[in-house]
Structure 1
Amino acid sequence: MAATAFNGCLGTIKSHGYIGSSALRQECGNSTLQVTSKVFKTNIGLSIKELDCSRKRGSCLVQASSTQTTVGGQVSSPLNNNMESPKKSKEAALILIRHGESLWNEKNLFTGCVDVPLTKKGVEEAVEAGKRISNIPVDMIYTSALIRAQMTAMLAMSQHRRKKVPIVLHNESEQAQSWSQIFSEETEKQCIPVVTAWQLNERMYGELQGLNKQETADKYGKEQVHVWRRSYDIPPPNGESLEMCAERAVAYFKEHIEPQLQTGKNVMIAAHGNSLRSIIMYLDRLTSQEVISLELSTGIPMLYIVKEEKYIRRGSPAAPSEASVYAYTKNLARYRQKLDEMVH
C-alpha cells in the first residue's frame, strides 16, 4: 500500500525505543514552549461553534531526527534526492481523521474498545479522506490500537501523491524492534512511520459495549442513555466518561505528538470520535459543555496549521473548498506545486 512523506522516517523515535538502521540522532534538549491557539469557524461534517480562544502550554522535551520535512519542506523523490534542502520552516500540519464506518456503526451497536473492522462504506470513506489530504504533507502517522482506525490511516495514505509506504513500528520487545529494521537507506527514505497507541482508543463503554443503542434506550430510557453518551464526567456502567478518555488521550498527545509538531513534523492522527474530541477540546480550549455538543463525522479530515507556536484550525480540506484551504498558507501551496512538478 502506497503512502507519503518523511525523509529518514525510521530515524530517532526515542519515545518508542526505535532507531532506524541509517538514521541520525539529534537531541534538542529541554525547551519551554508556549502555544497560543486561535480557532476559526469551520465545517467538519456536522457542526462546530465559532470559537476564539487561546491557551498556554508548559515545558516539554523536544527531540528531533537530523532529517525532517516541514509543511514547506523539500519534496524528495528517487530521481531528485540530491537537491539542496531549503531553509527549515516552523510551520507544520496536523490532520485529524475519525475512522470510517465500522461494522458495529452499521448495526447501531455500542462499540467502544471492541476491535471491529470497517464496512465497505467505511473503506470508501477512508479512501475519500485520503484523496482530500493527498496534497498535504505527512511525516508521521499516529493511530489507536484498534483496527478501524489503522485501516482508515492506511487506506487514506494509499491515495497520497507522494506514494510513500506506511510502516507500523513495533516496540513490544527488543526482538520485534530488531526484526523490523530496514537495511536499505533508499527504501527507508520512501517510508513513513506509523505509531499505534492504546491511549488514542475510543472511549471504553463498559457494560454497554455490544448492545444495540435503540434497545438500550428502550430498556434504560432515552434520558439515561443520553447522559451516558453525552455527559462529560458521568461514565456508563463500568466504563469511561469523556473526561476519563480525555485524560489519557490528551496526556499522550502532549507527551508524544506535540513535540513532533513543534520540531516541524507534519502529523496525521487517525482515531475515534471521543479521543479526537478530547484532543480538539485541548487544542481549542473548549469547555466541558462545548465539547459534548461537538460532532465529528466518520472519514472527514480536519486540518490544523501549527505555526509560530500557534494552532490554527483550517477546517476540512475537502473539495470544492480545497483551494481555499491552501490559500491559508503559502507553504502548503508550494508543497502542492512541487507535487505537480514531480508528476509532470
Structure 2
Amino acid sequence: MATDREHTTIILARHGECQGNREERFRGRVDYPLNERGLEQAEDLGKAIAPMVPDFIYTSPLLRAKQTATAIARACSHKHLFECEGLNNINFSFWEGRLKKEIALEYPSDWETWLTYPEKLRLFGAETLQEVQGRALRALKELVEKHYGDTIVVVSHRTVLKPLIAGCLNIPEPYFWKTHMDTASYSILTYDYQRGYGLFSLNQTAHLKKVSTEWI
C-alpha cells in the first residue's frame, strides 16, 4: 500500500523584474529595487505561492529579492521572513551595472565564455559560479536541516538558483544554460533523507500577467 513520505518542500522563487533586467545589465550586487512591473509580478507570485502554505520564507538581502519576499509573506499572512546571506547574488565585480552589449564589445573572449560555458568564467575580484553554488548549497542544507518536513520559500537570483538546482540534482558542468528561470517564476524541489533532492517543477509562470524572459 502506498504511504506518504515525510519530506521538505523548497519553493525556489526568483525576484520580480527590476530596471537592471529591463535594461539588460549585469546586476550582481547592485541593489536595484523592483520596477513597476516587478512589484506587480511579486504580488502575483505571492498569490500563487499562498495556497502551498509555506512555513518560512528566506530571502537574499538585496532589495529586489526582499521586496519580492515581502509580497509573498503578505500573501501568506505571516511574518516568518528572514534574510540569508548565502542566497545573495553573485559578485560580478567590474561587470556589475554594465550593459551586456557593452561587455560583449569590451571583453569579447569573456563574453563568449559567458554565452557558452559560464562555469569557466574568471573575472578579477568576482565570484565564480562554483563559489556561488557552494555557498548556496550550504545555506540550503542548513535550512533543510532546521525545517525538515516543512515547506520553505527561498527568494533569490538567477545566478544563484540555477547553480543551486544543478548542485542539488548533481547536474555536471556546463549546467547553467540547461535550465531557465524567468523573473517572478517559482520552481519546487523536494528533499527527504533517503532520496535526497528531487525536482518537482521548474520555472512556473502561469500566475504572471506578462512573462519577462531573459536569454543571456
Question: Does the TM-score normalized on the shorter chain lie above 0.5?
Answer: yes
Residue 293 of structure 1 corresponds to which residue in structure 2?
A: 178
2:82 counterpart residue number: 195
Alignment partner of 1:90: what SS? coil
Other-structure match for 2:146: 260
- Counterparts of 2:125 and 2:172, CA distance in 1: 25
SS at 2:29's partner residue?
coil
Aligned-residue RMSD, C-alpha: 2.3
Q: Distance in 1 between matches of 2:194 and 2:46?
A: 27
- Amino acid corresponding to residue 139 of structure 1 in structure 2: D
- Cα distance per residue 1:298-322 (max 9 Å; x no partner): 10111223356433322156658xx
CA contact (8 A) 1:144 1:201 kept: yes
Indicate the residue corresponding to 1:224 in structure 2. 110
**Post-superposition offset of 1:156:** 2.2
CA distance in 2, matches of 1:253, 1:145: 15
Aligned counterpart, 1:105: 21
Q: What is the aligned counterpart of 2:102 among 215, 220, 245?
A: 215
Higher helix share: 2
Cα distance, 1:318–1:299 mapped onto 2, change above 3 Å: closer
Q: Do structure 1's residue 93 and structure 2's residue 3 form an aligned pair? A: no
Corresponding position: 1:312 with 2:198? yes
For 1:159, give the aligned amino acid.
Answer: A
Seen in structure 2, the aligned counterparts of structure 1 residues 142 and 226 have a Cα distance that, compared at 3 Å, is farther
**Residues 312, 220 of structure 1: CA spacing in aligned structure 2 closer, same or farther, 3 A cutoff?**
closer
State the Cα deviation string for residues 124-145 of structure 1 (Å, max 9, x = none).
1111111221210211111111
Percent identity between the aligned chains?
Answer: 24
Aligned counterpart, 2:210: none
Following the alignment from structure 2 to structure 1, what is the Cα–Cα distance between the partners of residues 174 and 97? 27
Counterpart contact for 1:233–1:244, Cα < 8 Å: no
Tell me the SS of whatever aligns to 1:142: strand
Per-residue deviation at 1:116?
1.2
User: Residue 292 of structure 1: CA displacement?
Assistant: 4.0
Paired position in structure 2 for 1:128: 44
Residues in 2 aligned to 1:135 and 1:290: alpha-carbon distance in whole angstroms: 31
The aligned amino acid for 2:121 is I
Please give the alpha-carbon distance, in whole angstroms, between the structure 2 residues aligned to 1:102 and 1:309.
39
Distance in 1 (alpha carbons) for counterparts of 2:205 and 2:177: 25
After TM superposition, give the deviation of residue 289 of structure 1 in Å.
Answer: 1.4
Taking a change above 3 Å as real, the CA distance of residues 117 and 226 of structure 1, as seen in their structure-2 partners, is farther
TM-score if structure 2 supplies the norm length?
0.83
Conserved 8 A contact 1:228-1:235: no
What is the identity, as a one-letter code, of the residue corresponding to 2:82? V
Structure-2 residue corresponding to 1:247: 134
Deviations 1:167-200 (CA, angstroms, capped at 9, x unpaired): xxxxxxxxxxxxxxxxxxxxxxxxxx22212221
Whole-Å separation in 2 of the counterparts to 1:291 and 1:215? 22
Please state how far the C-alpha of 1:243 moved relative to its aligned partner. 0.9
Q: How many angstroms does 1:242 deviate by? A: 0.7
Output the CA distance in 2 between the equivalents of 1:308 and 1:110: 37
Give the number of equivalent residue pairs: 201
- Partner SS for 1:158: helix
Distance 1:103 1:319 in 2: 22
Q: Deviations over 1:84-117 (max 9, x none)?
A: xxxx972332100011111211222211011111
Task: Report how far residue 278 of structure 1 moved.
Answer: 2.1
| Structure 1 residue 290 displacement after superposition | 2.5
Counterpart amino acid of residue 131 in structure 2: M
Give the whole-Å Cα distance in 2 for the aligned partners of 1:275 and 1:217.
Answer: 22
